[in-house]
Amino acid sequence: MFKRDSGTDQTLTILIASLLWIAGAYLLGRDYFKTGLLNGPLAILLIIGLVITGAALVTHH
Any domain includes 47: yes
Any domain includes 34: yes
Q: Which residues are within 8 A (CB) of 48 and not within 5 positions of it... i.e. 6 or more apart?
A: 20, 24
Measured in degrees and rounded to the nearest 5, phi and psi for residue 53 equal -60, -45
pLDDT tier for residue 1 given thresholds of 50, 70 and 90: very low
- The one-character DSSP state at 36 is S
Any domain includes 1: no
Q: pLDDT of 2-35, one tens digit each? A: 455 555 667 787 788 778 778 878 888 888 888 8
Any domain includes 4: no
Any domain includes 53: yes
* Domain count for the chain: 1
Any domain includes 3: no
Any domain includes 2: no
- Domain with 49 in it: 9-59
| pTM, 2 dp | 0.57
